[in-house]
Amino acid sequence: MMRFVSFLVGSESLIGMMLLIRVLLRDKIPPGILYALWLVPAVRLLIPFTLIPVPVLPEVVGEAAGVDEGFKKAAADHATITENAQDAGRVESGGTTEAFFPTKNGVDMREAVEPEGTADRKRTGILSCLPCIWLSESVLCGGYVVLINRRLKRRIRQMERLPGKRLIPVYIREEAVSPCLFGLFHPCILLSKQTAKNKELCRQALLHEETHYRQKDHIWTAFRITLCILYWWNPLVWMGAACAREDAEFACDARALKNAALSERKAYGYALLEILQGVQDSGTLVQGITPVSGKGKNMKRRLENIVSEHKRTSLWPLPACLLLLLFLGGFCFPAQRVDAEEKTIEGPNAQTEGEPGKTAVVEPEPVKEENDGEAANQIMDAGTEEGREEQAEETESGIRVSPQEHREGYREPDLRYTASAGWLTDLAGRPEEQEKTEKLARRALRELYDLTGYQAEVCFYGYNEIGMLFFALSEEDMAHSRVFYSYGMGEKDGYGVIPSIEIVSARRVWYSDVQQLALPESAASMEKEQLAVWFLEHSPLCPEGVIVKTEPADMVGAGCFKLTMEDGTFYEIDIDMEILAVNNIYGPYPADAQH
């Protein structure tokens, strides 16, 4: 979303700069060059990505410089979520869930919350609808444009053709309309009956429209119409299209009268005035025509340009304009950010100076008490009094890992079985299997809490007979395959599949509440391979043994790693490095396994 906003702001900056150039430098730049400059914002609008990556300086937050944007965002979210997770409780009353915060200075602050979903999910749901609305309206606009232009195309077949050899066909219309160039693949000129009868007006009108054809304005017109269809909601795009059409007329006049005598220029100007006096309609921006048009001050300026035989122009602003537009086109849309040499995570009142491998560093704002100014809530790791674990032990042969104990603070969720999707097994009438499956599902959610710190409150789960458990926030979500967590049971549970866990973060989809609340203390300074080891060690799939090799896996993405154990078996881990969350873990695979 932020990339699109950056693209939009930058594109509109280009249009705004062109409008400013028109006002300040119109008399300094030849009309044809000014018209050609519109190509820069037009191409930018049609290509919403950066062709050449442009590095920018890293951002500075507080006193820490060079903080990567993804790490900063993850840290801020972790701090907020951790504070809410520690301070907030939930109670049900009359079918409505209420949130209360008893640790906020001892005040019980209550507010009604919908049973399913959060404010973030609602916002994400609304945002996910915007592309559909955009696309549907663009299709409607495109359909309207095709309709009105096909209607004119059909009428041309019934029009009288002007005799004589012409550069392109010329047809005579009965209506009192402006002469225009029409058509993209088979262009033609349309003249009104009154203009066609007057030889001088006909000659000047044909000169004007044939010049439009020579400078390929029928193609530029289609270009402008396409942009108006795609950006139907953006008034600045429509304004730019209207100004570009005006500039096309100025450029056409300049090219048609190049090296013309003053008398010829005056005749051309008088002809335009006479043609426009009886015009009823000059067409709209979405019609594929280039009409003779002009009103008020615009027409006055146009006539002044026509009769100014020796009007001076200067090319000195052209390089400056091009450089400025290209600068905006490149630097408003950086493709990548230079990584800082040192990355730090800072939450409110939290410092990150620990060693790699330690857990739960992002601290929410502490609850201040009279005799304890240092009190703060943290996500604590079970088995240690200070909420920290010893990092994986490095040996000469590799990194020794071992399964971790359960985290403290876990609460059993309200767990409900569903077979609403066709790919789930219906356990109705099979009480023993129901009981076994529920135990496995509760274990899977407990292990999700151990890995991420996420506490499920109400959850629906499903099961299929190959050994997979699926979890969703509602029965409807399950029916539509909106699963936020899946758990593959392996040989130890009596199934023949490779054990696996797959997690979908709330930072990525609207139908998930899962957040990666637990992280190593200095995650920002750890290598990606170290993070992969940390996630494996804190997952339910972690073995007792030594990791002898860590390497990129044959999976899509920069955060995919293969961790090989000393016995040859291996695990594959996919990490979302932008939000510092684990996506999935598979293993152990046999030593000779091939994908």
What is the pLDDT confidence band of residue 335, given thresholds at 50, 70 and 90? very low
Tell me the two tokens of residue 322: 């091009």
pLDDT at 355: 42
**Cα–chain center distance at 556:** 20
Q: Assess contact for 552 and 470: CB atoms under 8 A.
A: no
pLDDT more than 70, % of the chain: 68
pLDDT tens digit sequence for 412-464: 999 999 998 888 988 888 888 889 999 999 999 999 999 998 999 999 999 98
Which tokens in the block code for residue 168?
């392109």
- 486 close to 507: Cβ distance less than 8 angstroms: no
Q: ∠ CA(5), CA(8), CA(9), 5° rounding? A: 85
Q: How confident is the model at residue 346 (pLDDT cuts 50, 70, 90)?
A: very low
Out of 170-179, 269-278, 361-370, 384-393, which region has the weakest mean confidence (pLDDT)? 361-370
Task: Quickly state the pLDDT bin for 362 (edges 50, 70, 90).
Answer: very low
Q: What is the pLDDT of residues 220-240, one digit of tens each?
A: 899 889 999 998 888 999 999
- Candidate from 19-28, 456-465, 538-547 with smallest mean pLDDT: 19-28
CA 538 to CA 462: how far, in whole Å?
25
Q: Is the pLDDT of residue 195 over 70?
A: yes
Under 8 Å between Cβ of 350 and 386: no
Element of type H or E holding 589:
strand 581-589
The residues with which 585 forms a beta bridge, in sequence order, are 501, 573
Is a pLDDT exceeding 80 seen at residue 121? no
Q: Say what the pLDDT of residue 320 is.
A: 65
Cis peptide before 334 (omega within 30 of 0): no
Q: Name the residue with higher pLDDT: 457 or 275.
A: 457
Other beta carbons within 10 angstroms of residue 524's beta carbon come to 25
What local confidence, expressed as pLDDT, does residue 39 receive?
86
Residue type (1 letter), 368:
K
Choose between 352 and 195: higher pLDDT: 195
The more confident residue out of 301 and 446 is 446
Which pLDDT belongs to residue 289?
72
**Of the candidates 578, 568, 573, the residue with the CA atom closest to the CA atom of residue 554:** 573
Q: Which one, of 72, 103, 64, lies nearest residue 376 by Cα? A: 103
pLDDT at 124: 55
Give the model's pLDDT for residue 125. 57
**Above 60 in pLDDT, residue 293?**
yes
Instruction: Render pLDDT for 365-411 as a digit per residue (tens, 0 to 9).
Output: 443 433 343 333 334 343 343 433 444 556 666 788 888 888 888 99
